[in-house]
Structure 1
Amino acid sequence: MLNIILVGPPGSGKGTQAEQMIQKYGFISIALGALLRQQIAENGANKAHIEAYINNGQLVPDDISFQIIRELIQTKPSDASLLFDGFPRTIVQVTFLDNCLVSYHAKIDGVILLDVPNVHLLKRLRQRSTIEARPDDQDDDKIKARMHIYQQETLPMLNYYQHQNKLYRVDGTQAIDEVTKAIENIIDRLKL
């Protein structure tokens, strides 16, 4: 069992890399953004609430996120390797996740940060908006708000994991295959 957090700013390639990790290592994905978009698509109980936050480039309140994450963790086999994509992002979320995993005799083994400068992110998100038509990618102000929230909220989380020697940085501006190779090297070391 190996539990990994994949983190990076919007447009850093988390979704692409998560798919590679799932295929190669058999991780069970817990991708909060995709789960929230699924709640919207399926007219879930919190659809309007979730949609309002996402469409304004803001983080969904923790109580909603925690409920979704807790339910997912409870349904997974105890020996499953979990890949958290886009969660946690704040120290409060880190504390929740640590406590939730401890109750299942598990922990976070590593945090992989896809490091991409803002100038690259803006370009990537504009391209993605034409392909996927995601509302949160279609407006520069929303994109900048998401980047600001990411930097403001996520930096303390990264520092927390760095102090635990669990943070691994990957240059996300490289070609997709190179990023994948760097991530695989990290995972292979963690598996030892």
Structure 2
Amino acid sequence: MYIIIFGPPLAGKGTQSKRIIKDFGLTHLSTGDVLRAEKSQKTELGIKASEYSSKGLLAPDDLVAEIVEKFYHNNKSNKGILFDGYPRNIDQAKHLMNVIEGDGGKIDKVIFLKVPKEELLKRAIKRAEDENRNDDRDSEIVITRINEFGNSTVPAINFMRDSGIETIEIDGNKSIDDIYESIKSELK
């Protein structure tokens, strides 16, 4: 089973991902986690990624695609993979679809957690206080991240939906448990 979870920053993807991987036995692919692991292992890919992150830049699509592809091939024999943080744009969506379909598989579902911008901003303030996250303290930075999701990732979601991948929109403005019950009922 190959599932992608999407949502704007602060939508609760990480929280819901933990529950999904526990209950469904999926391997979790968080591109951020994989990039950090590649860097700490000083792999060729990790060294390349470090060159960008040391300058405060995002790793380019081709590098992230290579890392995701390597992860996929190393973990495809498990029960499946939950992709979290990838794809972020249409080119990455096409790449992921080609990798999985080229291997005889398919993306089973796309989960899209939808949360109003006002709620995301409230969550940013709370997370900044609770977890001492400086990246959530500045509302302008949070809004930029939310807008980036809308400008780049939402078109990727629409592209996959238009390509025939079942896409489920979940109201991410409910309680954590209610959100998960909605997700769980869709995955069974």
Same fold (TM over 0.5): yes
TM-score normalized with structure 1 length:
0.85
Deviating more after overlay: 67-76 vs 41-50: 41-50
Q: Measured at CA, do residues 122 and 98 of structure 1 come closer, stay the same or move farther in structure 2, by a change above 3 Å?
A: same
In the alignment, the residues of structure 1 paired with residue 128 and residue 39 of structure 2 have an alpha-carbon distance, to the nearest angstrom, of 18
In the alignment, the residues of structure 1 paired with residue 172 and residue 64 of structure 2 have an alpha-carbon distance, to the nearest angstrom, of 26
Match of 1:50 among 45, 53, 56: 53
1:58-90 deviation line (CA, Å, top 9, x unaligned): x54212211210110111143531100111121
In the alignment, the residues of structure 2 paired with residue 36 and residue 124 of structure 1 have an alpha-carbon distance, to the nearest angstrom, of 26
1:29 is aligned to 28
- Would you say 1:183 and 2:176 are equivalent positions? no
Contact conserved, 2:108 with 2:165, CA < 8 A, in 1?
Answer: no
1:13 is aligned to 12
Question: Percent same amino acid at aligned positions?
Answer: 32
**How far does residue 130 in structure 1 lie from its aligned partner after superposition?**
3.0
Deviating more after overlay: 98-107 vs 116-125: 98-107
**How far does residue 32 in structure 1 lie from its aligned partner after superposition?**
1.3
**How far does residue 171 in structure 1 lie from its aligned partner after superposition?**
0.3
For structure 1, the residue ranges without an aligned partner over 5 or more in a row are none
1:139-179 deviation line (CA, Å, top 9, x unaligned): 22221111111000122212223322511000001000000
1:98-134 deviation line (CA, Å, top 9, x unaligned): 1111232211011000000111111112222333344
Contact conserved, 1:22 with 1:29, CA < 8 A, in 2?
Answer: yes
1:173 is aligned to 173
Equivalence map 1:1-192=2 (5 Å): 2-38=1-37, 44-45=46-47, 46-50=49-53, 52-53=55-56, 59-163=58-162, 164=164, 166-188=166-188
Contact conserved, 1:7 with 1:86, CA < 8 A, in 2?
Answer: yes
For structure 2, the residue ranges without an aligned partner over 5 or more in a row are none
TM-score normalized with structure 2 length:
0.87
**How far does residue 137 in structure 1 lie from its aligned partner after superposition?**
2.4
**How far does residue 37 in structure 1 lie from its aligned partner after superposition?**
4.8
Q: CA RMSD in A?
A: 2.1
Q: Measured at CA, do residues 137 and 37 of structure 1 come closer, stay the same or move farther in structure 2, by a change above 3 Å?
A: farther
In the alignment, the residues of structure 2 paired with residue 131 and residue 42 of structure 1 have an alpha-carbon distance, to the nearest angstrom, of 31
